Chain A
Amino acid sequence: MFKVSALSLERNDQKIFSNLTFNVEAGTLVRVLGPNGSGKSSLLKVLAGLWTPSSGTLYWRGEPLAANAPLFALERCYLGHQLGLQPALSPLQNLTLWLQVSGVSVTPAKIREALELLGLADLEGPCENLSRGECQRVALAMLWLNPPVCWILDEPLTALDRMGIEVVCEQFEMHLKKGGLIFMATHQVFEIPSPQAFEIQLGEL
Protein backbone atom coordinates (compact mmCIF):
# COMPACT_ATOMS: atom_id res chain seq x y z
CA MET A 1 0.00 0.00 0.00
CA PHE A 2 2.72 2.47 1.00
CA LYS A 3 6.04 1.78 -0.63
CA VAL A 4 9.28 3.63 -0.17
CA SER A 5 12.36 2.99 -2.24
CA ALA A 6 15.91 4.20 -1.59
CA LEU A 7 14.73 7.19 0.43
CA SER A 8 17.43 9.60 1.60
CA LEU A 9 17.29 12.98 3.26
CA GLU A 10 20.06 15.52 3.64
CA ARG A 11 19.61 18.84 5.40
CA ASN A 12 22.26 21.52 5.73
CA ASP A 13 24.80 19.09 4.27
CA GLN A 14 24.04 16.60 7.00
CA LYS A 15 22.82 13.14 6.26
CA ILE A 16 19.63 12.48 8.26
CA PHE A 17 18.87 9.03 6.89
CA SER A 18 19.76 7.24 3.71
CA ASN A 19 18.65 4.36 1.57
CA LEU A 20 15.44 3.48 3.38
CA THR A 21 13.40 0.91 1.51
CA PHE A 22 10.23 -0.73 2.75
CA ASN A 23 6.77 -1.72 1.67
CA VAL A 24 3.88 -1.81 4.13
CA GLU A 25 0.43 -3.25 3.53
CA ALA A 26 -2.97 -2.17 4.86
CA GLY A 27 -3.52 -2.88 8.54
CA THR A 28 0.08 -2.34 9.56
CA LEU A 29 1.36 -0.41 12.53
CA VAL A 30 4.73 1.06 11.65
CA ARG A 31 6.79 2.21 14.59
CA VAL A 32 9.61 4.60 13.86
CA LEU A 33 12.21 4.08 16.56
CA GLY A 34 15.48 5.74 17.39
CA PRO A 35 17.17 7.98 19.95
CA ASN A 36 16.49 11.72 20.12
CA GLY A 37 17.75 13.55 17.07
CA SER A 38 17.92 10.45 14.94
CA GLY A 39 15.55 11.88 12.35
CA LYS A 40 12.21 10.34 13.30
CA SER A 41 10.25 13.56 12.86
CA SER A 42 12.08 14.31 9.61
CA LEU A 43 11.18 10.89 8.23
CA LEU A 44 7.52 11.41 9.14
CA LYS A 45 7.51 14.83 7.48
CA VAL A 46 8.91 13.30 4.31
CA LEU A 47 6.31 10.51 4.42
CA ALA A 48 3.53 13.07 4.89
CA GLY A 49 4.74 14.95 1.83
CA LEU A 50 5.68 18.07 3.77
CA TRP A 51 9.38 17.81 2.97
CA THR A 52 10.85 16.61 -0.30
CA PRO A 53 13.46 13.88 0.07
CA SER A 54 16.96 14.36 -1.37
CA SER A 55 16.52 11.16 -3.33
CA GLY A 56 14.20 8.19 -3.52
CA THR A 57 10.54 7.74 -4.38
CA LEU A 58 7.35 7.26 -2.38
CA TYR A 59 4.50 5.18 -3.76
CA TRP A 60 0.91 5.34 -2.55
CA ARG A 61 -1.41 2.60 -3.76
CA GLY A 62 1.14 1.54 -6.33
CA GLU A 63 1.66 4.92 -7.94
CA PRO A 64 4.38 7.50 -7.33
CA LEU A 65 3.24 10.16 -4.90
CA ALA A 66 3.89 12.95 -7.37
CA ALA A 67 1.26 11.51 -9.71
CA ASN A 68 -1.09 10.57 -6.90
CA ALA A 69 -0.91 13.70 -4.75
CA PRO A 70 -4.62 14.71 -4.64
CA LEU A 71 -5.68 11.23 -3.52
CA PHE A 72 -2.90 11.01 -0.97
CA ALA A 73 -3.83 14.46 0.39
CA LEU A 74 -7.33 13.16 1.12
CA GLU A 75 -6.22 9.82 2.53
CA ARG A 76 -3.42 10.78 4.87
CA CYS A 77 -3.53 12.70 8.08
CA TYR A 78 -0.38 14.13 9.61
CA LEU A 79 -0.13 15.12 13.23
CA GLY A 80 3.19 16.74 13.95
CA HIS A 81 4.89 17.83 17.13
CA GLN A 82 3.11 21.16 16.74
CA LEU A 83 -0.54 20.21 16.87
CA GLY A 84 -1.81 22.96 14.59
CA LEU A 85 -4.59 24.14 16.88
CA GLN A 86 -5.46 27.83 16.85
CA PRO A 87 -4.96 29.01 20.45
CA ALA A 88 -7.73 31.63 20.23
CA LEU A 89 -10.36 29.17 19.00
CA SER A 90 -12.26 26.64 21.10
CA PRO A 91 -11.82 22.88 20.58
CA LEU A 92 -15.15 22.78 18.72
CA GLN A 93 -14.19 25.68 16.45
CA ASN A 94 -10.77 24.19 15.83
CA LEU A 95 -12.09 20.81 14.80
CA THR A 96 -14.78 22.33 12.58
CA LEU A 97 -12.15 24.45 10.87
CA TRP A 98 -9.57 21.69 10.32
CA LEU A 99 -12.08 19.09 9.21
CA GLN A 100 -13.30 21.51 6.55
CA VAL A 101 -9.72 22.23 5.52
CA SER A 102 -8.97 18.52 5.24
CA GLY A 103 -11.93 18.09 2.94
CA VAL A 104 -14.74 16.62 5.05
CA SER A 105 -17.76 18.12 6.72
CA VAL A 106 -18.87 16.67 10.03
CA THR A 107 -21.88 17.79 12.05
CA PRO A 108 -21.18 19.70 15.29
CA ALA A 109 -23.02 17.01 17.25
CA LYS A 110 -20.55 14.37 16.08
CA ILE A 111 -17.59 16.57 16.93
CA ARG A 112 -18.97 17.14 20.40
CA GLU A 113 -19.46 13.40 20.82
CA ALA A 114 -15.87 12.64 19.81
CA LEU A 115 -14.51 15.23 22.23
CA GLU A 116 -16.65 13.89 25.05
CA LEU A 117 -15.37 10.39 24.36
CA LEU A 118 -11.91 11.74 25.09
CA GLY A 119 -13.07 13.20 28.37
CA LEU A 120 -12.82 16.87 27.52
CA ALA A 121 -15.09 18.98 29.66
CA ASP A 122 -14.65 22.53 28.39
CA LEU A 123 -15.42 22.58 24.69
CA GLU A 124 -16.25 26.26 24.32
CA GLY A 125 -13.27 28.03 25.90
CA PRO A 126 -10.20 28.91 23.84
CA CYS A 127 -7.56 26.22 23.39
CA GLU A 128 -4.85 28.38 24.96
CA ASN A 129 -6.41 27.65 28.35
CA LEU A 130 -6.03 23.90 27.88
CA SER A 131 -3.06 21.82 28.97
CA ARG A 132 -0.76 20.17 26.45
CA GLY A 133 -2.41 16.80 27.07
CA GLU A 134 -5.88 18.21 26.47
CA CYS A 135 -4.75 19.91 23.26
CA GLN A 136 -3.29 16.62 22.13
CA ARG A 137 -6.64 14.92 22.70
CA VAL A 138 -8.40 17.56 20.61
CA ALA A 139 -5.88 17.08 17.80
CA LEU A 140 -6.21 13.28 17.97
CA ALA A 141 -10.00 13.49 17.80
CA MET A 142 -9.49 14.72 14.21
CA LEU A 143 -8.33 11.23 13.31
CA TRP A 144 -11.47 9.37 14.14
CA LEU A 145 -13.85 12.08 12.98
CA ASN A 146 -12.30 12.07 9.55
CA PRO A 147 -11.03 8.57 9.03
CA PRO A 148 -8.27 8.91 6.46
CA VAL A 149 -6.49 5.67 5.65
CA CYS A 150 -2.94 6.62 6.50
CA TRP A 151 -2.16 8.19 9.87
CA ILE A 152 1.25 9.75 10.29
CA LEU A 153 1.76 10.63 13.94
CA ASP A 154 4.73 12.23 15.64
CA GLU A 155 4.81 11.25 19.32
CA PRO A 156 1.01 11.06 19.67
CA LEU A 157 1.04 9.76 23.25
CA THR A 158 3.66 11.87 25.06
CA ALA A 159 1.47 14.18 27.10
CA LEU A 160 -1.51 11.86 27.58
CA ASP A 161 -2.50 10.32 30.89
CA ARG A 162 -3.17 6.63 31.34
CA MET A 163 -6.86 6.93 30.52
CA GLY A 164 -6.09 8.98 27.42
CA ILE A 165 -3.58 6.42 26.19
CA GLU A 166 -6.14 3.65 26.66
CA VAL A 167 -8.78 5.46 24.60
CA VAL A 168 -6.29 6.34 21.88
CA CYS A 169 -4.87 2.82 21.69
CA GLU A 170 -8.40 1.44 21.32
CA GLN A 171 -8.93 3.74 18.36
CA PHE A 172 -5.58 2.69 16.87
CA GLU A 173 -6.62 -0.95 17.14
CA MET A 174 -9.97 -0.30 15.46
CA HIS A 175 -8.28 1.66 12.69
CA LEU A 176 -5.84 -1.19 12.01
CA LYS A 177 -8.67 -3.74 11.97
CA LYS A 178 -10.47 -1.65 9.37
CA GLY A 179 -7.41 -1.84 7.15
CA GLY A 180 -5.82 1.47 8.06
CA LEU A 181 -2.16 2.26 8.20
CA ILE A 182 -0.36 3.97 11.07
CA PHE A 183 3.12 5.46 11.08
CA MET A 184 4.12 6.47 14.56
CA ALA A 185 7.25 7.83 16.16
CA THR A 186 7.27 7.01 19.84
CA HIS A 187 9.43 6.28 22.85
CA GLN A 188 6.67 4.72 24.87
CA VAL A 189 6.25 1.00 25.28
CA PHE A 190 2.64 -0.09 24.90
CA GLU A 191 0.80 -2.97 23.41
CA ILE A 192 -1.52 -2.72 20.47
CA PRO A 193 -2.56 -6.12 19.22
CA SER A 194 -1.71 -5.82 15.57
CA PRO A 195 -1.65 -8.61 13.05
CA GLN A 196 1.20 -6.94 11.28
CA ALA A 197 3.78 -4.77 12.94
CA PHE A 198 6.78 -3.19 11.40
CA GLU A 199 9.66 -1.26 12.86
CA ILE A 200 11.96 1.27 11.31
CA GLN A 201 15.09 1.77 13.35
CA LEU A 202 16.86 5.06 12.77
CA GLY A 203 20.16 6.33 14.09
CA GLU A 204 22.34 3.34 13.39
CA LEU A 205 23.86 4.68 10.20
Chain B
Amino acid sequence: MRHAFWAVMRGDITRYIQRLSDCLIPFLFCLMVVSVFAISLGQNTALLAKVGPAIIWIAILLALVWSLEGILRMDYETGSLEKLVLSPHPLPLLLLAKLVAHWLMIGVPLLLLSPLLAFMLGLTNGEPWILGITLLLGIPLFSMIGALGAALSIGLPQGGVLLAILVLPWMLPVVLLGTRCVAAMSAGLSFKPELLLLLAMFVFLLALGPVAISVALKTSVSC
Protein backbone atom coordinates (compact mmCIF):
# COMPACT_ATOMS: atom_id res chain seq x y z
CA MET B 1 0.00 0.00 0.00
CA ARG B 2 2.87 2.32 0.89
CA HIS B 3 4.51 1.44 -2.41
CA ALA B 4 1.40 2.41 -4.37
CA PHE B 5 1.27 5.75 -2.55
CA TRP B 6 4.89 6.52 -3.44
CA ALA B 7 4.43 5.26 -7.00
CA VAL B 8 1.46 7.57 -7.65
CA MET B 9 3.25 10.49 -6.04
CA ARG B 10 6.45 9.88 -7.98
CA GLY B 11 4.50 9.48 -11.22
CA ASP B 12 2.77 12.82 -10.72
CA ILE B 13 5.97 14.60 -9.74
CA THR B 14 7.68 13.26 -12.86
CA ARG B 15 4.75 14.51 -14.90
CA TYR B 16 4.98 17.99 -13.37
CA ILE B 17 8.71 18.06 -14.07
CA GLN B 18 8.13 17.01 -17.69
CA ARG B 19 5.59 19.84 -18.05
CA LEU B 20 7.33 22.50 -16.07
CA SER B 21 5.02 25.16 -17.50
CA ASP B 22 2.19 23.74 -15.38
CA CYS B 23 4.23 24.65 -12.29
CA LEU B 24 5.65 27.91 -13.62
CA ILE B 25 2.40 29.51 -14.75
CA PRO B 26 0.77 29.74 -11.27
CA PHE B 27 4.09 30.99 -9.89
CA LEU B 28 4.52 33.70 -12.52
CA PHE B 29 0.82 34.62 -12.45
CA CYS B 30 1.00 35.22 -8.72
CA LEU B 31 4.17 37.27 -9.06
CA MET B 32 2.60 39.39 -11.83
CA VAL B 33 -0.64 40.11 -9.96
CA VAL B 34 1.21 41.25 -6.85
CA SER B 35 3.67 43.31 -8.93
CA VAL B 36 0.79 45.13 -10.60
CA PHE B 37 -0.63 46.07 -7.21
CA ALA B 38 2.78 47.03 -5.85
CA ILE B 39 3.53 49.27 -8.82
CA SER B 40 0.11 50.90 -9.11
CA LEU B 41 -0.25 51.59 -5.39
CA GLY B 42 3.44 52.22 -4.85
CA GLN B 43 3.12 55.78 -3.54
CA ASN B 44 0.56 54.92 -0.93
CA THR B 45 2.65 52.71 1.35
CA ALA B 46 0.22 52.91 4.28
CA LEU B 47 -2.65 51.61 2.15
CA LEU B 48 -0.42 48.98 0.59
CA ALA B 49 0.64 47.63 3.96
CA LYS B 50 -2.99 47.49 5.02
CA VAL B 51 -4.34 45.59 2.03
CA GLY B 52 -1.11 43.68 1.35
CA PRO B 53 -2.01 40.39 3.07
CA ALA B 54 -5.37 40.26 1.27
CA ILE B 55 -3.70 40.90 -2.11
CA ILE B 56 -1.22 38.08 -1.54
CA TRP B 57 -3.94 35.66 -0.46
CA ILE B 58 -6.16 36.48 -3.41
CA ALA B 59 -3.27 36.26 -5.88
CA ILE B 60 -2.32 32.83 -4.57
CA LEU B 61 -5.95 31.72 -4.58
CA LEU B 62 -6.44 32.74 -8.22
CA ALA B 63 -3.11 31.23 -9.25
CA LEU B 64 -4.05 27.92 -7.65
CA VAL B 65 -7.61 27.70 -8.95
CA TRP B 66 -6.42 27.31 -12.53
CA SER B 67 -4.02 24.53 -11.65
CA LEU B 68 -6.56 22.50 -9.71
CA GLU B 69 -8.30 21.07 -12.71
CA GLY B 70 -5.01 19.53 -13.80
CA ILE B 71 -4.94 17.28 -10.74
CA LEU B 72 -7.68 15.09 -12.19
CA ARG B 73 -8.70 16.24 -15.68
CA MET B 74 -5.82 14.75 -17.62
CA ASP B 75 -6.07 11.45 -15.77
CA TYR B 76 -9.75 11.38 -16.62
CA GLU B 77 -9.07 11.92 -20.30
CA THR B 78 -6.33 9.30 -20.55
CA GLY B 79 -8.27 6.67 -18.60
CA SER B 80 -5.77 6.68 -15.72
CA LEU B 81 -8.56 7.51 -13.29
CA GLU B 82 -10.33 4.26 -14.17
CA LYS B 83 -7.15 2.44 -13.23
CA LEU B 84 -6.99 4.27 -9.90
CA VAL B 85 -10.65 3.54 -9.18
CA LEU B 86 -10.20 -0.15 -10.00
CA SER B 87 -7.04 -0.48 -7.90
CA PRO B 88 -7.19 -2.86 -4.93
CA HIS B 89 -5.64 -0.09 -2.83
CA PRO B 90 -7.89 2.44 -1.09
CA LEU B 91 -8.70 5.25 -3.50
CA PRO B 92 -8.49 8.05 -0.85
CA LEU B 93 -4.86 7.08 -0.23
CA LEU B 94 -3.97 7.24 -3.94
CA LEU B 95 -5.74 10.60 -4.24
CA LEU B 96 -3.86 11.91 -1.23
CA ALA B 97 -0.64 10.98 -3.07
CA LYS B 98 -1.77 13.09 -6.02
CA LEU B 99 -2.62 16.00 -3.70
CA VAL B 100 0.77 15.80 -2.00
CA ALA B 101 2.49 15.86 -5.40
CA HIS B 102 0.43 18.91 -6.40
CA TRP B 103 1.31 20.61 -3.14
CA LEU B 104 5.02 19.89 -3.54
CA MET B 105 5.23 21.05 -7.14
CA ILE B 106 2.80 24.00 -7.16
CA GLY B 107 1.96 24.80 -3.54
CA VAL B 108 5.47 24.89 -2.10
CA PRO B 109 6.89 27.23 -4.78
CA LEU B 110 4.05 29.66 -4.04
CA LEU B 111 4.73 29.35 -0.34
CA LEU B 112 8.41 30.10 -0.90
CA LEU B 113 7.44 33.07 -3.05
CA SER B 114 5.35 34.63 -0.28
CA PRO B 115 8.23 36.35 1.59
CA LEU B 116 9.19 38.11 -1.64
CA LEU B 117 5.57 39.11 -2.23
CA ALA B 118 5.37 40.40 1.35
CA PHE B 119 8.54 42.41 0.77
CA MET B 120 7.15 43.88 -2.48
CA LEU B 121 4.04 45.09 -0.66
CA GLY B 122 6.03 46.51 2.23
CA LEU B 123 4.87 44.13 4.95
CA THR B 124 7.25 44.34 7.86
CA ASN B 125 8.15 42.89 11.23
CA GLY B 126 6.49 39.56 11.89
CA GLU B 127 3.90 39.85 9.14
CA PRO B 128 5.73 37.79 6.49
CA TRP B 129 6.18 35.04 9.09
CA ILE B 130 2.57 34.81 10.08
CA LEU B 131 1.59 35.06 6.43
CA GLY B 132 3.83 32.07 5.70
CA ILE B 133 2.37 30.03 8.53
CA THR B 134 -1.21 30.70 7.47
CA LEU B 135 -0.34 29.91 3.85
CA LEU B 136 1.24 26.64 4.98
CA LEU B 137 -2.24 25.61 6.11
CA GLY B 138 -4.18 27.53 3.49
CA ILE B 139 -2.60 26.23 0.30
CA PRO B 140 -3.34 22.52 1.05
CA LEU B 141 -6.87 23.60 2.01
CA PHE B 142 -7.28 25.22 -1.42
CA SER B 143 -5.96 22.06 -3.08
CA MET B 144 -8.38 19.79 -1.28
CA ILE B 145 -11.43 22.00 -1.80
CA GLY B 146 -10.47 22.42 -5.44
CA ALA B 147 -9.89 18.72 -5.99
CA LEU B 148 -13.33 18.00 -4.55
CA GLY B 149 -14.85 20.46 -7.03
CA ALA B 150 -12.77 18.96 -9.84
CA ALA B 151 -13.97 15.47 -8.97
CA LEU B 152 -17.59 16.61 -9.03
CA SER B 153 -17.33 18.51 -12.32
CA ILE B 154 -15.00 16.16 -14.16
CA GLY B 155 -17.55 14.60 -16.48
CA LEU B 156 -18.84 17.98 -17.63
CA PRO B 157 -17.62 20.00 -20.60
CA GLN B 158 -16.06 23.41 -19.80
CA GLY B 159 -14.93 22.08 -16.47
CA GLY B 160 -12.31 24.77 -15.93
CA VAL B 161 -14.51 27.86 -15.69
CA LEU B 162 -17.27 25.96 -13.95
CA LEU B 163 -14.80 24.63 -11.42
CA ALA B 164 -13.59 28.12 -10.52
CA ILE B 165 -17.16 29.34 -9.98
CA LEU B 166 -17.96 26.21 -8.01
CA VAL B 167 -15.04 26.25 -5.60
CA LEU B 168 -14.27 29.95 -5.04
CA PRO B 169 -17.10 30.51 -2.52
CA TRP B 170 -15.90 27.54 -0.48
CA MET B 171 -12.37 28.93 -0.39
CA LEU B 172 -13.54 32.30 0.89
CA PRO B 173 -13.49 31.32 4.61
CA VAL B 174 -9.86 30.26 4.25
CA VAL B 175 -8.91 33.62 2.70
CA LEU B 176 -10.88 35.45 5.37
CA LEU B 177 -9.21 33.64 8.25
CA GLY B 178 -5.78 33.97 6.69
CA THR B 179 -5.99 37.71 6.11
CA ARG B 180 -7.58 38.37 9.51
CA CYS B 181 -4.75 36.48 11.14
CA VAL B 182 -2.19 38.82 9.61
CA ALA B 183 -4.34 41.88 10.29
CA ALA B 184 -4.71 40.91 13.95
CA MET B 185 -0.98 40.46 14.23
CA SER B 186 -0.13 43.86 12.74
CA ALA B 187 -2.73 45.50 15.01
CA GLY B 188 -1.00 43.94 17.98
CA LEU B 189 -3.94 41.69 18.82
CA SER B 190 -3.97 37.96 19.37
CA PHE B 191 -4.19 35.98 16.13
CA LYS B 192 -4.58 32.68 17.94
CA PRO B 193 -8.33 32.16 17.39
CA GLU B 194 -8.07 32.58 13.61
CA LEU B 195 -4.98 30.41 13.40
CA LEU B 196 -6.58 27.65 15.46
CA LEU B 197 -9.71 27.76 13.30
CA LEU B 198 -7.56 27.46 10.20
CA LEU B 199 -5.71 24.55 11.78
CA ALA B 200 -9.01 22.88 12.65
CA MET B 201 -10.19 23.22 9.06
CA PHE B 202 -6.92 21.76 7.85
CA VAL B 203 -7.10 18.72 10.14
CA PHE B 204 -10.76 18.17 9.29
CA LEU B 205 -10.19 18.29 5.53
CA LEU B 206 -7.00 16.25 5.70
CA ALA B 207 -8.97 13.47 7.36
CA LEU B 208 -12.17 13.67 5.34
CA GLY B 209 -11.14 15.43 2.12
CA PRO B 210 -9.58 12.45 0.30
CA VAL B 211 -12.54 10.26 1.25
CA ALA B 212 -15.02 12.85 -0.02
CA ILE B 213 -13.01 13.30 -3.24
CA SER B 214 -12.94 9.55 -3.83
CA VAL B 215 -16.72 9.26 -3.38
CA ALA B 216 -17.29 12.16 -5.77
CA LEU B 217 -14.86 10.65 -8.26
CA LYS B 218 -16.45 7.21 -8.19
CA THR B 219 -19.82 8.80 -8.88
CA SER B 220 -18.38 10.83 -11.76
CA VAL B 221 -16.51 7.91 -13.34
CA SER B 222 -19.39 5.48 -13.06
CA CYS B 223 -21.90 7.55 -15.01
Contact = CB atoms under 8 A, between A and B. Distances in A.
A and B physically associate: yes
Interface of A: 11, 48-52, 70, 73-74, 76, 78, 80-89, 93, 96-98, 100-103, 105, 126
A78 B18 CA distance: 27
Interface in B6-39: 6-8, 10-11, 14-15, 18-19
Contacts of B188: none
Given A98-B83, A102-B86, 16 more contacts: A11-B223, A50-B85, A73-B86, A73-B88, A84-B78, A85-B80, A86-B80, A88-B19, A96-B7, A100-B7, A101-B4, A101-B7, A101-B8, A102-B83, A103-B4, A126-B18
B11 A93 contact: yes
Contacts of A49: 86
Contacts of A85: 78, 80
Contacts of B7: 96-97, 100-101
A81 B79 CA distance: 8
A85 B19 CA distance: 16
Contacts of B87: 73, 101-103
A80 B77 CA distance: 12
Given A51-B222, A52-B222, A102-B88, A89 B8 contact: no
A78 B82 contact: yes
Q: DSSP majority for the A interface?
A: loop
Given A50-B221, A101-B94, A89 B83 contact: no
B18 A70 contact: no
A146 to B, nearest CB: 11
Contacts of A86: 11, 15, 75, 78, 80
Interface residues of B, number: 29
Interface of B: 3-4, 6-8, 10-11, 14-15, 18-19, 74-75, 77-80, 82-89, 94, 221-223
Nearest to A81: B79
Contact of A87 (B8, B78, B221): B78
A185 B89 CA distance: 27
11 contacts: A81-B79, A82-B77, A82-B82, A86-B80, A87-B74, A89-B14, A100-B7, A101-B84, A101-B94, A102-B87, A126-B18
B222 A50 contact: yes
A52 B6 CA distance: 30
A73 to B, nearest CB: 4
A100 B2 CA distance: 10
A20 B107 CA distance: 50
Contact of A93 (B14, B19, B75, B80): B14
Contacts of B83: 84, 98, 101-102
A110 B216 CA distance: 36
A83 B83 CA distance: 9
Contacts of B4: 100-101, 103
B81 to A, nearest CB: 8
Contacts of B84: 101
